[in-house]
Amino acid sequence: MKHTKSFLLLCSLTTALGCHAAATPADAGSMDAGYSCSPLLCPVAARLYDVLGGDVANRESVIADLKAVTLAEPQDGRAFLLYGMAMLSALAEDNDANYVAEVDPALQTGKTLLPDDERIPGWIGILHVQLAVVLNGPDTTNPMVKAAIDELTMAADLYPDFNDFDYMLMSPLFALSTGIPEQCIARAKSIAGCGATDSRCRNSALVPHNVEGALMTIGDLYARVGDKPNALSYYNQALATPDSVNWKFRSIAMSDIANIDSRIAGFAQGGAGRPSFFSEGKTSCVGCHGR
């Protein structure tokens, strides 16, 4: 099973296993605020953050250890959430479909045990959209696809500052004629300033390049629809933040700027050879979490 371009951006861990649009690059403190950690879970969670930061060789062992924690502590919602998100990172960055059957149950259990965490419906929603497209193709009239889009839309409306980013991940999945890529841009515009009011939209110790990754993804949204000026604007903004100086993925932004015309042409052509979004494939998680 090859899902490299279907399992995109499925990274937004507890507070950002991936990128969420922001305009403010600096933020002090942990993005994982609001959660306590059991003695059994804490060391495994720390190892997971290391994996998201680039220590990908240990991903499988971390996933196995998180599963063990859920079995030992079946009422720990955060353990289920981290277990599900760790598996999503394997889907997104390693193209590893071995975890497909276990991801949704883990996230659903996390949602049940953490009913106040409004981010979880967004992660579940984009997972369901991607799975529906893999199974049925990008047909918005297909009942399974339509239901998944509706589910994700409800999640985005529930917590726009965070879940609108999950909504934006639909852009490369559907044709321009569906209107979804333009709707994704509208969502991006609506949360462009969320860094001023929501700490989850900022850079942090756990997500040191949250802002840069988000700006790259918004630039991709515009390149997807052929809007060169706005695409270039966001790519350049990603290079202009203070934290971008030590960002190891600066070269991707520079390449996208240098090759903007061919990038736009590739999106217009579509198909398997289309350009990847920044938040697809090997940079899905580490693009924002990388240290």
Summarised one tens digit per residue, pLDDT across range 93-121 is 998 888 999 999 999 999 999 999 999 99
**CATH code of the domain containing 117:** 1.25.40.10
Domain for residue 4, yes or no?
no
Domain for residue 279, yes or no?
yes
Burial label for 112, CB within 10 Å (0-12, 13-18, 19+), is exposed
Domain for residue 272, yes or no?
yes
- Structural domain span for residue 76: 41-289
pLDDT at residue number 20: 57
Q: Tokens 């996230």 map to which residue?
A: 107
Answer yes or no: is pLDDT of 21 > 60: no
Cβ–Cβ < 8 Å for 169, 133: no
Total count of domains within the chain = 1
Residue/partner pairs of 157-161 with CB below 8 Å, 24 or more apart: 158/118, 158/121, 158/122, 159/118, 159/119, 159/121, 159/122, 160/187, 160/190, 160/191, 161/20, 161/191, 161/194, 161/197, 161/198, 161/200, 161/201
Please report which confidence band the pLDDT of residue 34 belongs to, taking 50, 70 and 90 as the band edges: low
Q: Give this prediction's pTM.
A: 0.88
